[in-house]
Amino acid sequence: MKILANLIRSGMIIENDGRQWAVLKTQIIKPGKGGAFNQIEMRDLKAGTKTNIRLRTQETVKKLQTTEKEFQFLFSDEDSYTFMDPNNFEQIVLENDIIGEDKIYLKDGIMVKVNYIDNSPISISLPSALVFEVVEAEPVVKGQTAASSSKPAILENGLRIMVPPFVEKGTFVQINTTDGSYIKRAE
């Protein structure tokens, strides 16, 4: 199925130059002079290499049809990750190159979608938001205005993010898994 370049989003699988690519990040850029274009960061599904391309927004690419199946993350070892199908309890093991940078968000028991092309797993899709505990946060400085200030914090998974001043060690926060940003304090 052909789609316009401005409709490409992260997580899609596209075909470009005869190869299959997983889209990691996209950014529509509108320069002051000339037409808009989509800056796309993508990973080759076979070789694992990354590249950036620019496509004019009116260009088309082939979007590959994938099938999704939901799995529960169980555990990982050095270079593989084990998932379980919650319906039949069948387990699959995915290599590090399929998981990629999403590995930092994997925690025991979360549900992910495994994307397949021709019955072979090619990538995973995380939930859009996940909850993590803050294990380290700088203290609040008196006199800081709450409107525009934020401070660094480290989460239980080792991810370093910027949080509002009221977030302290031991607080659970919800973060966006596409860019690793703070959303809100978790209930």
| Segment 22-41, tens digit of pLDDT | 888 888 888 888 888 989 98
Separation CA 92–CA 69 (nearest Å): 12
The pLDDT score that the predictor gives to residue 25 is 82
The pLDDT score that the predictor gives to residue 146 is 53
Question: Tokens at residue 70, please?
Answer: 């939901």
Closest CA to 177 of 119, 146, 131, 115: 131
As a whole number, mean pLDDT of residues 152-173 equals 91
- pLDDT band (50, 70, 90) for residue 13: confident
Average confidence score pLDDT of the chain: 87
- pLDDT band (50, 70, 90) for residue 123: confident
Torsion angle (degrees, nearest 10) of CA 143, 182, 99, 72: 130
Tracing tokens 């690519």 back to the chain, one arrives at 21
- pLDDT band (50, 70, 90) for residue 132: very high
Q: Is the pLDDT of residue 89 over 90?
A: yes
Separation CA 55–CA 44 (nearest Å): 17
Closest CA to 7 of 63, 65, 66, 45: 63
- pLDDT band (50, 70, 90) for residue 52: very high
Tracing tokens 């590995």 back to the chain, one arrives at 103
